[in-house]
Structure 1
Amino acid sequence: MHLTVSWGRWTGWARVLAAATAAVAAAMCASPSWAAHAYAQFGDIKYPAGFDHFDYVNPKAPKGGNFSLVAPTQASSFDKYNPFTLKGTAPPGLETLVFETLLEGNFDEPATAYGLLAEDVSVAPDGMSVTFRLHPKARFHNGDPVLAADVKHSFEVLTSKQAAPQYPAFFSAVSKVTVLGERSIRFDFRQPDAELPLQVGKLPVFSRQWGMVSGKAKPFDQIVTEHPIASGPYRIGKVTPGRDITYERDRAYWGADLNVRRGQFNFDRITYRMYLDNVTAFEGFKAGEFDFIESYISKDWVRQYRGRKFDSGELIKATLPHRNSANFQGFIFNTRLNKFQDARVRRAIGLAMDFEWMNRQLFYGIYKRVGSYFTNSEYEAKGLPDAAELALLTPLRDKLAPAVLTQPVPVPPTTTPPGSLRDNLRLARDLLQQAGWTLKDGQLRNAHGERMTIEFLDNSPSMGRVVTPLLRNLEKLGIAANYRVVDYAVYEKRVKRYEFEMMSLALPGRLVPGSELRQFYHSSLAQVEGADNLNGVSDPAVDALIEKVSAAKTRPELVTAVRALDRVLRHSHYAVPHWYSGTFRVAYRGGRFVLPETPSFYRPEQWALRCWWSR
């Protein structure tokens, strides 16, 4: 199994709001102050002020009924209701269903968002601040109004040391927050950036009263089992520890008639069922214990998702095309360890994986090889850098390996003829020797006589069938590798402390890469416990290119900056790339639900939660 670092924790609750004029992004530093119902990073706003609903929903969808789905295996248990702190595990669905943000995005526009908790957004003429005016009807579940003081409180605790480190990093571009009035608040930026109004718009907002005891606030990292005081369409309902959690629709939900909410969140109750492994979960699905499941294992999809119940229509099996940039998924190296600090060693290990054999023998030919950190998108670097990329890379020449500027971007090795595994292993042997590792008596050792050993860490044995053939190939190079499966609590603790050598990781693809890149690759987070820079990437060229991504004011500028970043990361061989699918594979209970005519091409679970309704 691979660890999935989910960008949904940012985008699940809100895909963001903002402002209006068509050329706002490019003209941020020159245009006068403005205020509007929406904001677009690149100026492309689809829905006008006063629009009734998003096109992909049914505004007349009836409310009622129940919907249940399976929790991710890594969330088979939870011990807190605060998803924003480092320690512990929060239940699935909490951010999407219970918390809200200032701005709300949609399935049509990846870089545009509309007002949710904030009914209006105003960007300063110089792009150095954004001001939000809160909706006068916005209410928390306890009936209190959502005020600017609550927004400031949410920001301050989320950017404190009491919150998980990705939150301070995510909002690091904000220099100051000022309450201008009861329902008006301004965020000042350290520098202008067209993405920052969207980024601030993703701030999850909760009440100052959450965690208050006898009029005194508990430290945020000690708010654990107290139910959140938030404003979303659902509240936490019945909970059976270790088995399930149910969210109940708030019948007094303040935003039910908003255009960004109309036709959405139609079920009275949403339940996540929890299982220890994928086999048990699928058996539970067939037995009618829940309604919706997404399949991630090709063997299961081909061999298990069939039979009488599927033939009769009691269970529906569907393959949905998607438009996402593919997740980056791979076996990653902990480059904090001396043995993985040489890129030649990392490349050599990658040469030992025979994807073509795996795809034939294990995956039923379903997958394609991940070739980039931005596979299946316009951001993927190809061939030699073009003139626009060179304009960004050349000033960084002294920080780059010469190959970045002079050689085509690396692509994963192949065993398709005329290529072969034997040839790949010969090249791997040569690279290891160049890096100071020599094969002696069948064992790969360095100049100090230390043997090359690798531990692949996992919390589920499901990846074992993939790792095993790789281990055999590594053995041919004299590398002693093993696959270790540990309990999820142990796994999570080790990962947060970077106590691993190699592990499987999936990073979500985004239609508009931006601030999340800092989370995954910036050197400032390489040594911060619990951060998302799990590789330990610490490269000044990468840092500089992340800043170029953030500074992009037009889509062409963004594309060029991300391609340059992709090129540098791939030349460093930080991971052994896995595979991806161009479709979602889902199954659900037939006859019980009505699906909108326009499907979501981005996240099937979010589409179901937000847009389906009961018959």
Structure 2
Amino acid sequence: MAVSRAVKAIRGKLGAVVIFAAFLSQPALSEETIIESHGYSFFGNLSYPADYEHFDYVNPDAPKGGEIALALSGTFDSMNPYARLGRASALSTVMYESLLGQIQAGSGSLPSDHYDEYYGLLAERIEYPEDKAWVIFHMRPEAEFSNGTPVTAHDVAFSHNLLLDQGLKSYADAVRARIPKVEVIDDHTVKFYFTEDISRRSLIDQVGTVPIWSQDWYEETGARLDEPRMEVSPGSGPYVLDEVNPPRRVTFKRNPDYWGWDLPINQGRHNFDRIRLEYFADSTGAFEAFTAGEVTFRTENDPKQWASFYEFPAIDEGWVKREELPDGFPPNMSGIVFNLGSEPLQDRRVRQAVALGFNFEWTNKSLLYGLFDQQGSFSEGTPLEATGLPEGEELEFLKSLGDVVPEEVLTTEPWTPHESDPDRLVSRRNLRAAMKLLDAAGWPVGSDGIRRNDEGEVLRLDFLFSANDSASARATAENFVSNLEKMGIDARFESVDAAQYTKRERDRDYDLIFDGYPALLGTGTGLAQRFGSEAAEYSLFNPAGLASPMVDRIIEESLMTESEAEEHVAIRALDRALRYEFFVLPDGYAPNHWVAYWDIYDHPDKMPPYALGALDFWWYDTENAAALKAAGAPLR
């Protein structure tokens, strides 16, 4: 029986078992190739074999113990991050695991030295046909929740359906259309079926990374996933909730009875005995808590503070370390997001004019100490970044999409940020260009200096800002709004508290906001939630409300690609299309991780590219901690 080249590659790279099952049909004999593996990657290129002992970048002998304390600005009133109402605490999902292992959302990938690979956690092995029409997860029978009850396939099916019934509508709609059925085969075997005649991209990893909750707990308590609450269901993860003291503190403790300590996927990870989160009214209070030793680890995102605020006694004593660690991910496309539901901003010329009010060069030099780099692409600095005119396979791909692709996309280079005068806030050349665009868009300046349309409506734009954001972010926004006012726009800077900000953000009650979108590293069904038209009106993951037939088609075609080379062509075209639609104005990014910490922690000498990993694979240095305390360091 012939073995396909793809199957040979899978067998060689993954150590996967390929089982050929022949099924007798009438009148002919058919066969189906079933792949069985310890992990999953769409193209079958797992880096770690079935008998791996630990990930290469971790310290498998990292000591367990100690505490890490982080500061957050704002407040919280819930431990349920899935409710639309309320403001959930950070790390509210840290107690829960999934069939395939993953790092905390937004913190990087697992493993952190390779992208888009998944390895079994609650599942010890998976099997699926070559066409990925379904997947079966074989679960580890020893897995249990923190209350001692077993984690079963019934809990997996329950969790999947709970997200569909009570989770976010944008998520539920997308998943129902692609995953019509989940079947419990036995207590430790669960099967998911996928819709026919659609792309199977991201479906196995989608169901494999759903957090698993206890069905018994939900049924006994009557709790709902869509309501804010402080009570948490038992999780199966290495940490359990220790203390909740709203609105000030949340503490998690390492579970010594955690069922999975001996798994290869967990070696050298989850090393702290306690993770403590301290909440403060604003970023100033959070920073002062760090200087005083109440908080022990800090990821800095304010260039001004990184450049000039780290001058305090603990620095002078050598008790606090500062490091710039490499960040291998392209930056997220973050900055000033335009609400495309705002009537004036539906005109691309207005958005272009508003963008000209942002002076990156002056902002970087005057407010950010020159530490930020400017960004133009959703795939900045990677081979997926669109450059120049489309040509070759990318041009052929775009032409194949027909009329949904404007001629301008084919004949012009992708959008790039404008240049401004670094020595003055108001760049006169850009101001003149912006005013011409606004005139052409039907918003001329009246005798009072205010722009109005033919109906006499004032061109008003509200910039929503969170009061607990950094001083540098506030200054950036206020100066930007000042430039908009010079154009004749009735621009208003609205700084509101954390609770109001969360509600207005969810209701999309703003014209302009600091927000963003993830970097483009590959395709997946999640792109539709982020950039697609279907959920554009209500998706919390699409703050601009982007709805573009061109973007929709490119996403659809990207999901049907059959090789990495084809996928790269599609993503490059998507980067070009998103930049053409112009719905976010990037405000720059830090090229590295900026971290400061009391010298009681350690990390691998060679850091992996795709995660900072402070809560994942760093560890507590008992000797250093004792020495600092003996020297008088104000540590707990």
TM-score calculated relative to the size of structure 1: 0.90
**Counterpart in 1 of 2:52?**
51
Alignment of structure 1 residues 560-571 onto 2, 5 Å: 560-571=569-580
* Deviation for aligned residue 1:610: 3.2
* Deviation for aligned residue 1:31: 7.5
**Counterpart in 1 of 2:439?**
433
Aligned with residue 525 of structure 2, among 502, 515, 537: 515
| Cα distance, 1:508–1:538 mapped onto 2, change above 3 Å | closer
* Deviation for aligned residue 1:552: 2.9
Aligned with residue 617 of structure 2, among 604, 610, 614: 610
Alignment of structure 1 residues 541-556 onto 2, 5 Å: 541-556=550-565
Tell me if structure 2 keeps the 8 A contact 1:24–1:42.
no
**Aligned AA for 2:203?**
L
Tell me if structure 1 keeps the 8 A contact 2:171–2:529.
no
**Counterpart in 2 of 1:451?**
458
Larger radius of gyration between Structure 1 and Structure 2: 2
**Counterpart in 1 of 2:133?**
128
Aligned mates of 1:432, 1:290 — CA distance in 2:
48
**Counterpart in 1 of 2:293?**
288
Tell me if structure 2 keeps the 8 A contact 1:340–1:346.
yes
**Counterpart in 1 of 2:428?**
422
The farther-off stretch of 513-522 and 338-347 is: 513-522
Alignment of structure 1 residues 442-521 onto 2, 5 Å: 442-460=449-467, 462=471, 463-509=473-519, 511-521=521-531
Could you list the runs of 5+ residues in structure 2 that have no partner in the other structure? 1-9, 20-30, 102-109, 623-636
| Cα distance, 1:150–1:266 mapped onto 2, change above 3 Å | same
* Deviation for aligned residue 1:166: 4.6
Q: Deviations over 1:289-330 (max 9, x none)?
A: 021001111111111013432132201111112111111111
Aligned with residue 584 of structure 2, among 575, 579, 601: 575
* Deviation for aligned residue 1:170: 5.8
Aligned with residue 269 of structure 2, among 253, 261, 264: 264
**Counterpart in 2 of 1:14?**
none
**Counterpart in 1 of 2:25?**
none
**Cα RMSD, aligned residues only:** 2.5
Aligned with residue 100 of structure 2, among 99, 103, 106: 103
Q: Deviations over 1:412-453 (max 9, x none)?
A: 100259999222222222222222221222221212121211
1:89 aligns with 2:96: no
**Aligned AA for 1:600?**
P
* Deviation for aligned residue 1:251: 0.8
Percent identity of paired positions between Structure 1 and Structure 2: 34
SS in structure 2 of the partner of residue 552 of structure 1: coil
**Counterpart in 1 of 2:182?**
177
SS in structure 2 of the partner of residue 94 of structure 1: coil
| Cα distance, 1:531–1:223 mapped onto 2, change above 3 Å | closer
The farther-off stretch of 290-299 and 305-314 is: 305-314
Tell me if structure 2 keeps the 8 A contact 1:20–1:38.
no
Tell me if structure 1 keeps the 8 A contact 2:77–2:247.
no
Aligned mates of 2:11, 2:541 — CA distance in 1:
33
SS in structure 2 of the partner of residue 368 of structure 1: coil
Q: Deviations over 1:37-78 (max 9, x none)?
A: 12122332211112111111122222222221123x2xx322
Alignment of structure 1 residues 516-535 onto 2, 5 Å: 516-528=526-538, 531-535=540-544
* Deviation for aligned residue 1:148: 0.8
**Counterpart in 1 of 2:64?**
63
**Counterpart in 2 of 1:205?**
212
Could you list the runs of 5+ residues in structure 1 that have no partner in the other structure? 1-18
| Cα distance, 1:403–1:23 mapped onto 2, change above 3 Å | farther
| Cα distance, 1:81–1:418 mapped onto 2, change above 3 Å | closer
Aligned mates of 2:129, 2:371 — CA distance in 1:
49
| Cα distance, 1:114–1:284 mapped onto 2, change above 3 Å | same
TM-score calculated relative to the size of structure 2: 0.87
Tell me if structure 1 keeps the 8 A contact 2:75–2:498.
no
* Deviation for aligned residue 1:402: 2.2
Tell me if structure 1 keeps the 8 A contact 2:327–2:593.
yes
SS in structure 2 of the partner of residue 433 of structure 1: helix
Tell me if structure 1 keeps the 8 A contact 2:128–2:136.
yes
**Counterpart in 1 of 2:386?**
381
Aligned with residue 586 of structure 1, among 576, 580, 595: 595
1:165 aligns with 2:174: no
